[in-house]
Amino acid sequence: MASFSLERGYRSSMRWDDETCYRALAARDTRFDGLFFVGVTTTGIYCRPVCTARTPGRSRCRFYSNASLAEREGFRPCLRCRPELAPGHAPVDSVRTTARAAAGRIEAGALNNGGSVESLARELGLSSRQLRRAVCREFGVSPVELAQTQRLLLAKQLLAETSLSVIEVALTSGFESVRRFNSLFRSHYGLTPSRMRRSSAARGDTGRLRLTLAFRPPFAWKPLLRFLADRATAGVESVVDGAYLRTVEVEGCRGWLKVEPIVGRNALAVELATSLTPALTTILFRLRNLFDLNARPDVIASHLSKDARISRWVEACPGLRVPGAFDGFELAVRAVLGQRISVKAATALAGKLAVAFGEPIETPIPMLNRLSPSADRLANAAPIELSRLGISSARSIAIGELARAVAGQSIVLEPGLEPHSVAGRLLELPGIGVWTAQYVAMRALRWPDAFPEGDLGLLKALPAKSARELLAAAEAWRPWRAYAAIYLWDRLRPVEREECDD
């Protein structure tokens, strides 16, 4: 079967066959946009994998790693999905690749609380004109319109689920002007915020907010919670009575939150301190990533269950998610600590690190008393300070270099960024190998095809005699190798497993 290389600035070569590409095409997962193109023999047109046209039959598809190859074979570009706009392949590659990252940053609230298109453009290395043009071409609306939609939807939820005043709702949603908020709300929804509030059953204010986050069923909550519990940093995180709790410091706001499933509904209940209200947009975005709420479990399971080696586990645990990260830097440090030692030992080291470098915080939950150590704090820590905690010298140096890179924003660990380029930058740091880079891509960057090759737990669970054999087996799981890894790890419970790196 034909295959082609999709290597893009990343040390580990990836080769996808036609079947893998067709599965990604059928899923229309935006995370695969720009990685390949599909030519349809009956129409003579080639498209991006996210094209909204009806998915053609498998026999009519031809797959290419770039647009030039498709055109050389006589295919014409689709006028609907416009292959010239695919991230990573357009003439102004850096602009259009970054456009999707910009959309993710906007969803997380980058244009709220004084944020501007100009500041976001500078952060992404573009001019404001380039950013506006790229976002408009990619999504059909301007950055400001994207932000307005996010603000209005959050405002609608706050009006329905909380007792925040209309003014508080406007400010929390990211509007700087209440008059502007009222005007947009009325023009978009046909009624005033006050009228919507009267028709809702908002809860009384008890010093905390309660909101809901929806997901596509099924959702294997207990396995995901077990995964997080095994790695919960003492003082920062805790799992109690089927709920996940943690301390939070976001955008200068500090507090705590709690997440648990709602019985009889396809949604999670989020309870958080009112001190976090100004950062609510960012927090909800991070929680959706932490719990993988945007996943398509039906599509993923349909593919993975075709492999007899893991099908019984997929069928026995429908809706298993890939645990994400509330904070990318926190997750990356945890990955470094987990190199070549047990999960239990790495978790203990993470707790010691939090006590030594995390700031204390008071919460109504006794076990939550520390904030996660920040990149700025660890960037200024001497390696000897980390070594005194029992962290090896090599890992102490790796954590310091990682912290300085994140603090200086030469490395950004957020979903929506091009995973291979971020992984490539991680690999340039001392003490960061392929396992760590893939693990970070898998959880912090939300890359569904990331695969922590060489992981001893995966070798045991499959089982496989070598990393090469494991990688060969994993080819059948593309483009959702990260989900296959979670199924294999879950199979090891309650056996202690080790993690590793180069």
pLDDT (tens digit per residue) in 283-318: 999 999 999 998 889 889 999 999 999 999 999 999
47, 51, 61, 78: which is the annotated catalytic residue?
Answer: 47
What pTM was estimated for this model as a whole? 0.78
The predicted structure's pLDDT at residue 137? 79
Give yes or no for a contact between 46 and 71, defined as CB atoms under 8 angstroms apart. Answer: yes
Strand partners, 254: 249
47 is catalytic: yes
Q: At what angle do helices 434-443 and 419-427 cross, to 10 degrees?
A: 140
The predicted structure's pLDDT at residue 331? 98
Strands (E), 265-340: 267-273
- Which residue type, as a one-letter code, is found at position 105? R
Rounded Cα distance, 475 and 5, in Å: 13
Write phi, then psi, for 341 (nearest 5 degrees).
Answer: -135, 170
Topology annotation, domain 3-85: DNA Methylphosphotriester Repair Domain (3.40.10)
Give yes or no for a contact between 93 and 134, defined as CB atoms under 8 angstroms apart. Answer: no
In the chain, domain spans: 3-85, 93-140, 328-491
29, 292, 327, 455: which is the annotated catalytic residue?
Answer: 455
Strands (E), 217-363: 237-240, 243-250, 253-261, 267-273
Alpha-carbon torsion (87, 90, 91, 92), positive or negative: negative
CATH 3.40.50.300 correct for 328-491: no
Among 399, 452, 449, which residue's Cα sits nearest to residue 419?
449
The predicted structure's pLDDT at residue 494? 55
Write out the chain's pLDDT in tens, 502 residues.
344 443 333 333 345 688 889 988 988 877 677 778 999 999 999 999 988 889 999 999 999 987 778 888 889 888 888 786 665 443 334 445 567 778 878 888 888 877 899 988 887 777 888 888 888 877 778 998 888 888 888 888 898 888 899 999 999 998 988 999 999 888 888 888 988 786 655 555 567 899 999 998 999 999 999 999 999 999 999 999 999 999 999 999 999 999 999 999 899 999 999 999 999 999 999 999 999 998 889 889 999 999 999 999 999 999 999 999 999 999 999 999 999 899 999 999 999 999 999 999 999 999 999 999 999 999 999 999 999 999 999 999 999 999 999 999 999 998 877 788 899 999 999 999 999 999 999 999 999 999 998 898 899 998 888 888 999 999 999 999 999 999 999 988 754 444 556 5
Rounded Cα distance, 337 and 334, in Å: 5
Rounded Cα distance, 19 and 25, in Å: 10
455 is catalytic: yes
Give yes or no for a contact between 485 and 458, defined as CB atoms under 8 angstroms apart. Answer: yes
Q: Is 222 exposed, middle or buried (0-12, 13-18, 19+ CB in 10 A)?
A: exposed
Return the structure tokens found at 186.
Answer: 């009325």
Number of CB atoms found within 10 A of residue 194's CB: 12
Rounded Cα distance, 32 and 27, in Å: 10
| DSSP 8-state code for residue 46 | E
End-to-end Cα separation, the chain, in angstroms: 32
List pLDDT tens digits, range 372-424. Answer: 999 999 999 999 999 999 999 999 999 999 999 999 999 999 887 778 889 99
List pLDDT tens digits, range 112-142. Answer: 877 899 988 887 777 888 888 888 877 778 9
Give yes or no for a contact between 228 and 350, defined as CB atoms under 8 angstroms apart. Answer: no
The predicted structure's pLDDT at residue 110? 85
